[in-house]
Structure 1
Amino acid sequence: MEGEATYRGAVYPWHCDHIGHMNVMWYVGKFDEANWNMFARLGLTPTYLRESGCGMAAVQQTIAYNRELFAGDVIEVRSRLAEFRDKSLRIQHEMRNAETGDIAATCEITAVHIDRAAHKSVPFAPAIRYAAMPHLVLAEPVTA
């Protein structure tokens, strides 16, 4: 998957479970950090979220684990904006072992733009839509 680098880091020993590989909670955390980097590129910056009274709420997240990661592995997450709607967006992430290039995991998340006080979804501001559009990468058609 092409996309923008949204996270780079390493697997530390405390990220690993009793089997010796990175525990699922750390995959989720690293994908979450990638989300926030992607949100900022779309104009959903910390300043915007604080000043607008809006927030982003995850409503669906799907993770596929492809290869184990171990302490000492260096990883990179690349992300793309796959869908942008009036009140929601969908981001796809791909986590790779930076040394081998192997895909360790993929994640797709759907998030909704909300009014934090009302706890209801609200449309994105035009400025957010304008900032997001250059990042929108439509899926390539499947050929038989």
Structure 2
Amino acid sequence: MEQEATYRGTVYPWQCDHVGHMNIMWYVGKFDEANWNLFARLGLTPSYLRSSGRGMAAVQQNITYKRELLAGDIIEIRSVLLEVREKSIRFRHEMTNAETGEIAATCEITGVHMDRELRKSAPFAAAIREIAMKHLAEPAEA
């Protein structure tokens, strides 16, 4: 499955650190915004999460930084679903400099579906799981 764009934006000067490139806290924030767009495509919309008493929690996040991003750079994040389990999903984001096409960073996250009242993991509803399975990437060949 082709990765879908889940975020588009720009790097603002106030997001840059003392050496002039986007600070790591903003990479995390932009990846987080991509999470919510990916979740919505899977049926984990804000209205679903509110009405069902469910939520999503990241339990593991691994970021690899490949190229710096500077103030004014336009970025795009594309996301792919790697794994669907009963109560969790694993997905990868790829952040690129939209002008050059260079990959700036990648982020792989494991997220758990939660019952917000019980504060425990909960199985995905059948309808959500069905949608997620349709978005699942093909297994990589060895």
Structure-2-length-normalised TM-score: 0.98
Structure 1 counterpart SS, 2:26: helix
Q: In structure 1, what is the Cα distance between the partners aligned to 2:41 and 2:119?
A: 24
**Matched AA of 1:40:** A
**Matched AA of 2:32:** D
**Runs of 4 or more consecutive aligned structure 1 residues displaced over 6 Å after TM superposition:** none
Q: In structure 2, what is the Cα distance between the partners aligned to 1:122 and 1:37?
A: 21
Q: Cα deviations across residues 58-96 of structure 1 (Å, max 9, x unaligned)? A: 000000000000000000000000000000000100000
Show structure 2 runs of 5+ residues with no match.
none
Pairwise CA RMSD of aligned residues? 1.0
Structure 2 counterpart SS, 1:105: strand
The corresponding residue for 2:67 is 67
The corresponding residue for 1:122 is 122
How many pairs are equivalent? 142
User: How far did 1:133 drift?
Assistant: 1.5
Show structure 1 runs of 5+ residues with no match.
none
After TM superposition, list the pairs within 5 Å mapping 1:1-144 onto structure 2: 2-142=2-142
Percent identity (aligned) = 72
**Matched AA of 2:58:** A
C-alpha contact (below 8 Å) 1:83/1:138 kept by paired residues:
no
C-alpha contact (below 8 Å) 1:2/1:78 kept by paired residues:
no
**Matched AA of 1:122:** A
**Matched AA of 1:125:** A
Q: In structure 2, what is the Cα distance between the partners aligned to 1:51 and 1:135?
A: 23
Q: In structure 2, what is the Cα distance between the partners aligned to 1:60 and 1:133?
A: 21
Structure-1-length-normalised TM-score: 0.96
Structure 2 counterpart SS, 1:78: strand
